[in-house]
Structure 1
Amino acid sequence: MYELSKEVEEYQAKVREYSQTVVKDYAKHMDETNDGGEKIVQDMGQRGLLGMKIPPSFGGLGLGETAFAIATEELGAESGGASHSLHTQLNALQLLLSVGGDSAKDWIEAGNKGKEIYAVALTEPAAGSDLGAFQTTAKPDGNELLINGEKIFTSAGSFSTKMVVLARTSGNVGDKQGVSLLLIDSKTPGVEVHKLDLMGIRGAGVSYVKFNNARVPKDSIIGKEGDAYKGAIKALMVSRNGYAGIAVGIARGSLDEAVNRANARKQFGKALIDQEWIGFNLADAFIKVEAARLLTMRAAYLFDKGKEALSEASMAKYYAATVSAEISRLALHIYGGHGLTRGSKVERLYRDSKVMEIAEGTNEMQLMGVSRMLRKQ
């Protein structure tokens, strides 16, 4: 069981108010235009709501992974794209902190305030979930580095000011040594950015990025050259639980819409919720949302206690993603023909939910992680 501190409860109330006012009104715009995630990051930075899991010594709020899970749920209940934009910024900050430490302090502090918006360029067309198979290189050329390669599904790529890039500075593909983390200007000559037209989490700036002899200073390397792999993997594993939070939010938002519709809509002389199959399905959905949240908060609680809760995060991410897809489909079904209308909230959340089963490690990858844990017992 977990218990929220007074500080985290106050933070939750602030984020919920922001989500139910600004994000609620803005979500449709993000979805229709496939743009606008930068506003979420800038707004939250200006309101002092970013950096919730970053230590105060780095300009953060120091509220931990629990607050991060809460924030992603609250935004996710209104917009997967908005919550994903928040997640990307915190993912980048966690990478900078994990790999760079004190050397990245200024960049982390700027990111906490929303003054810098970071894209995370890790995944490649031929690598996918196998992060170690990436092929992007950053080779020395005098006092500079020449970056060549491709990145796909680069979150915030289309509106970022800086990119956090994983590249090989030495060694061969598959080696864990020789991997470096770079922080570069998004407008660097030789960096081509093409925004992707995804079915869900629209507006989050997810892009294809090509590096064609992009020339950057050697001091673009964050932390120790060639020694970023372990820190990057650790940061990414922890951030997975934030994605579970997004999925819980989508499930909760879908359930809220379905319950409101079922109470308001009458058929055959009584409210839809009084039709037994609908009432029972909504009750089942409510239980599943609560269970998904408990799994997510348990993993966050363990991370905050310094535990290596990777299996717990995988369980949370898998279950929350599965539940979000199931409940958003139920909400769409309860809305009937109105739910099929492009631009309705349930239709948007339904599309957002599918992304949850793929992004930040597919459902199958989460099951693989849990199965490894079972083999050790």
Structure 2
Amino acid sequence: MFQLSKEHQEYKEKVRDYTQKVVRDYAKLMDDKNEGGEKIVRDFGEMGLLGMKIPTQFGGLGLGEVAFAIATEELGTESGGASHSLHTQLNALQLLLSVGGESARDWIEKGIKAKEIYAVALTEPGAGSDLGALQTTARPEGDELLINGEKIFTSAASFSTKMVVLARTSGNVGDRQGISLLLVDSKTPGVEIHKLDLMGIRGAGVSYVKFNNARVPKDAIIGKEGDAFRGAIKALMVSRNGYAGIAVGIARGALEEAVNRAASRKQFGKSLLEQEWIAFNLADALVKVESARLLTLRAAEMLDRGIEALTEASMAKYAAAVTAAEVSRTALHIFGGHGLNRGSKVERLYRDSKIMEIAEGTNEMQLLAVSRALQPKK
């Protein structure tokens, strides 16, 4: 049985307390207005949550991936948007650390304290899971770089101060070499940000971004020019497990709502929870939530021990995403017509759950990664 350390348990209680006191009431506002992520991120900075994965020598807490999985789950029980906002900032910091190392120290320290809020500009209309296919370019012109291209589903962009951008500084589309990581001020002339109106994870500032001859200094490049691909892939593989945590949280939140509803709602002289078919559905949901959590924590613990765990993280992300979709659908069904009301918690979690099956690598991409582990060893 997976046991949390005393330190992790205390951390879990801290995040749960914040979730119940702040996020629970704030989640509906984020969803209704499709805004509010900036306040949440500022809160995270004040609480020290943004440094959870960052090594202590960079000003972080050094609590690792288990803490990440714990925090995203707790936040996810009330709001996919709030949990995704935490994930985005930690993803950005992980990219800066993986690609830039010591040279990115100042930006990492500012991000930990939310003095800078980062957007993560990686995905393009024609380059999602295949980062090598990205077409955004950053070509030299004098002492500057000229950025041109499009980014889609750029998390936190609408309220960011800086964007962590992958762009091609040399080579051709399809090459893994020649890709650089840049840190770009979000208000740079030539940068257009258009917030998207997504069905779920609302308030997280997910946006379409266009770079139209946006000029940045050459020192905007983080780390070694043209050598960001490997570090970016490493950071993204690690962040995948955090997304599994969000999905576990959504599933748990939906299950808790469904159980409470089933226990309090009476039909034909007894509660819904006493109706066998309802009880069995909820029991099945509980098994799936617990299983997804254990897969997520196992992968996180392996990553904390320095084990690559790519297969395990993909298994966790796939299982958690499927579970979030299934359990939130079950919860919606148990609530019946009341659950269909726009703004009800189970309706909101249901919409959040669908994005879990797409973002950070689709279900199919996770199965592809897992299937590779089935191949006979040579």
> TM-score interval w.r.t. the shorter chain?
over 0.9
What's the CA shift for 1:38? Answer: 1.2
Give the partner amino acid of 2:367: L
- Which residue number corresponds to residue 111 of structure 2? 111
- Which residue number corresponds to residue 54 of structure 1? 54
- Which residue number corresponds to residue 323 of structure 1? 323
What's the CA shift for 1:109? Answer: 0.8
- Which ranges in structure 2 are unaligned for 5 or more consecutive residues? none
SS at match of 2:49: coil
What CA distance in whole angstroms lies between the structure 2 residues aligned with 1:41 and 1:56?
Answer: 20
Q: Deviations over 1:32-90 (max 9, x none)?
A: 00011111111011122222111011111100000000000000000000000000000
What CA distance in whole angstroms lies between the structure 2 residues aligned with 1:47 and 1:7?
Answer: 16
- Which residue number corresponds to residue 265 of structure 1? 265
SS at match of 1:158: helix
Percent identity, aligned pairs only, is: 81
- Which residue number corresponds to residue 274 of structure 2? 274
- Which residue number corresponds to residue 199 of structure 1? 199
- Which residue number corresponds to residue 220 of structure 1? 220
Give the partner amino acid of 1:45: G
- 1:100-249 to 2 correspondences below 5 Å: 100-249=100-249
**Residues 288 and 323 in structure 1, CA contact (< 8 A), matched pair in contact too:** yes
What CA distance in whole angstroms lies between the structure 2 residues aligned with 1:165 and 1:376?
Answer: 38
RMSD across aligned positions (CA): 0.7
- Which residue number corresponds to residue 334 of structure 2? 334
What's the CA shift for 1:3? Answer: 2.8
What CA distance in whole angstroms lies between the structure 2 residues aligned with 1:130 and 1:355?
Answer: 19
What's the CA shift for 1:373? Answer: 1.2
What CA distance in whole angstroms lies between the structure 2 residues aligned with 1:248 and 1:308?
Answer: 22
**Residues 119 and 154 in structure 1, CA contact (< 8 A), matched pair in contact too:** yes
What CA distance in whole angstroms lies between the structure 2 residues aligned with 1:136 and 1:5?
Answer: 44
- Which residue number corresponds to residue 299 of structure 1? 299
What's the CA shift for 1:376? Answer: 4.0
Moved more, 124-133 or 310-319: 124-133
What's the CA shift for 1:114? Answer: 1.3
What CA distance in whole angstroms lies between the structure 1 residues aligned with 2:49 and 2:120?
Answer: 20
TM-score by length of 2: 0.99
What's the CA shift for 1:7? Answer: 1.4
**Residues 56 and 62 in structure 1, CA contact (< 8 A), matched pair in contact too:** yes
What's the CA shift for 1:2? Answer: 3.2
What CA distance in whole angstroms lies between the structure 2 residues aligned with 1:206 and 1:63?
Answer: 27
Q: Deviations over 1:189-233 (max 9, x none)?
A: 000000011000000000000000000010000000011000000
Q: Deviations over 1:295-340 (max 9, x none)?
A: 0000000000000100000000000000000000000000000000
What CA distance in whole angstroms lies between the structure 1 residues aligned with 2:159 and 2:376?
Answer: 43
What CA distance in whole angstroms lies between the structure 2 residues aligned with 1:308 and 1:195?
Answer: 35
